[in-house]
């Protein structure tokens, strides 16, 4: 891969992202706060549907049966199909659509807050959870419009997948991949551009930044996957070593304790690498949109951020700006 192997590139990217996180430890706390607030908000909107009065106490099964009947429909089995058919009532469909858009809105809102602080950290500033949340409030209009647009696109892709069966799944996968690549910089654009609120313009700008910097032959995001995969494989090898030692010593507490520790370590590592990936994407945006190479990344590392078609990788060019 140019002058640098895939593993070396991925490992250097991971080290660079971890160094940014080490200097700004609140970046590790931010996703925990985001998830906690999101759960509280979703429960707040979900509570009216399941805790509304039915004439029975919440401890009685009749209450939950009444709630179930108000949300789900049940029709008799028809020839050629197994068992009764379940569906949602019209009221439940409206309520689920509301929950879908509410959850998307707050996910986008908190991502804007997170990326505001990621870009601050990459620019050498301190990180503040409170400042990030306050900043996201100033972008509420762009967040709302993007939520409605992205949510509608998501529903269309899902409808294509369900209605066209095998062809639909292939088509939906292709559209989903194109969408994920084209929209990769939308959140940083919301952060950086105060006047940008039109979701179509934001999508075009995100795709335009990719095309201008890396060309048209993109087929996927390289990211930190190679180094992360090798680390996970190494940990599995150690786990298997503990298993063989446990069998040899006839001490099954060894593998039990090692297995629990391995599981916690993998959960923690997955969390850290997910944050590192977001930091890296922030660095990519600064490089592609503003021409800034955030330390400790290098231009060579950022240039090799994407996977390319074999026929197009050799011909891609970077426009002069």
Sort strands 85-88 and 218-221 into parallel, antiparallel or unpaired.
unpaired
The pLDDT of residue 317: 39
State the average pLDDT over residues 149-177.
81
Task: Give the closest residue to 191 by CA, choosing from 152, 246, 236, 133.
Answer: 133
> Are 300 and 4 spatial neighbours (Cβ–Cβ below 8 Å)?
yes
Q: Is 131 helix (H, G, I), strand (E, B) or coil?
A: helix
Band (307; pLDDT cuts 50, 70, 90) = low
* pLDDT band at residue 181 using 50, 70 and 90 as cut-offs: confident
Q: For the chain, what percent of residues have pLDDT higher than 90?
A: 20
Highest mean pLDDT among 22-31, 56-65, 191-200, 216-225: 22-31
Q: What's the average model confidence in pLDDT over 109-130?
A: 93
pLDDT, position 300:
78
pLDDT in the model for residue 158: 82
- For residues 247 and 260, is the Cβ–Cβ distance under 8 A? no
Rounded (5°) CA angle 313-319-321: 155
Could you give the residue ranges of the DSSP H alpha helices within the chain? 6-23, 26-50, 61-71, 90-122, 129-137, 140-163, 165-182, 186-192, 199-214, 225-249, 252-290, 299-303, 310-313
Is the pLDDT at 210 greater than 90? The verdict is no
Residue 316's pLDDT band (cuts 50, 70, 90)? very low
In whole angstroms, what is the distance from residue 275 CA to residue 20 CA? 11
pLDDT at 220 over 60: no
Among 111-120, 209-218, 219-228, 295-304, the minimum mean pLDDT is found in 219-228
Pairing of strands 85-88, 72-75: antiparallel
- In the chain, the percentage of residues whose pLDDT exceeds 70 is 84
Cα distances (Å, whole numbers) of residue 63 to 56, 57, 58, 66: 5, 6, 6, 5
Write down the pLDDT at residue 82: 57
The 3-state secondary structure of 192-245, one letter per residue:
HCCCCCCHHHHHHHHHHHHHHHHCCCEEEECCCHHHHHHHHHHHHHHHHHHHHH
Residue 154 phi/psi, 5-degree rounding, is -60, -40
Q: Lowest-confidence range among 55-69, 127-141, 271-285? A: 55-69
Q: First-to-last CA distance in the chain?
A: 25
Q: Which of 74-78, 162-166, 184-188, 219-223 has the highest mean pLDDT?
A: 184-188
Strand bridging mode 218-221 / 72-75: unpaired
Please tell me the predicted confidence (pLDDT) of residue 165.
Answer: 72
Residue 189's pLDDT is 94
> Regarding predicted confidence, which is higher, 107 or 78?
107
Q: How confident is the model at residue 190 (pLDDT cuts 50, 70, 90)?
A: very high
pLDDT in tens, 21-59: 999 988 998 888 888 888 888 888 878 877 888 888 878
Q: Which residues pair with 88 in a beta bridge?
A: 72
- In this prediction, residues 175-179 reach a mean pLDDT of 83
For the cut 70, the answer to whether the pLDDT of residue 187 exceeds it is yes
pLDDT by residue (tens digit) across 238-288? Answer: 888 888 888 888 888 888 888 899 899 888 888 888 898 889 889 989 988
Q: Contact, 235 vs 258, CB < 8 A?
A: no
Task: Give me the pLDDT at residue 85, please.
Answer: 63
Confidence of residue 320 (pLDDT cuts 50, 70, 90): very low
């Amino acid at each position: 891969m140019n002058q640098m192997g895939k593993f070396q590139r991925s490992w250097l990217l991971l080290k660079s992202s971890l160094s940014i996180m080490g200097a700004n430890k609140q970046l590790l706390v931010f996703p925990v706060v985001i998830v906690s607030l999101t759960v509280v908000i979703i429960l707040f909107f979900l509570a009216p549907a399941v805790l509304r009065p039915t004439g029975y106490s919440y401890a009685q099964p009749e209450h939950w049966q009444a709630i179930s009947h108000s949300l789900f429909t049940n029709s008799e089995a028809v020839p050629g199909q197994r068992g009764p058919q379940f569906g949602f009532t019209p009221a439940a469909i409206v309520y689920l659509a509301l929950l879908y858009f509410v959850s998307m809105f707050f996910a986008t809102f908190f991502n804007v807050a997170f990326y505001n602080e990621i870009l601050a950290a990459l620019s050498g500033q301190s990180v503040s959870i409170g400042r990030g949340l306050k900043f996201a409030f100033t972008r509420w209009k762009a967040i709302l419009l993007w939520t409605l647009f992205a949510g509608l696109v998501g529903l269309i892709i899902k409808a294509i997948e369900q209605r066209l069966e095998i062809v639909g799944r292939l088509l939906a996968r292709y559209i989903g991949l194109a969408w994920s690549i084209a929209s990769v910089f939308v959140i940083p654009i919301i952060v950086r551009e105060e006047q940008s609120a039109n979701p179509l313009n934001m999508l075009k700008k995100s795709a335009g930044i990719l095309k201008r910097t890396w060309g048209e032959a993109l087929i996927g995001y390289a990211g930190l996957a190679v180094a992360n995969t090798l680390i996970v494989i190494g940990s599995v090898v150690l786990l298997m070593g503990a298993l063989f030692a446990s069998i040899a010593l006839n001490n099954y507490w060894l593998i039990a304790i090692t297995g629990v520790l391995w599981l916690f370590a993998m959960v923690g590592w997955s969390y850290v690498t997910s944050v590192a990936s977001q930091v890296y994407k922030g660095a990519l945006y600064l490089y592609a949109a503003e021409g800034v190479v955030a330390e400790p990344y290098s231009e060579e590392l950022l240039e090799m951020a994407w996977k390319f078609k074999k026929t197009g990788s050799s011909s891609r060019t970077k426009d002069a700006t």
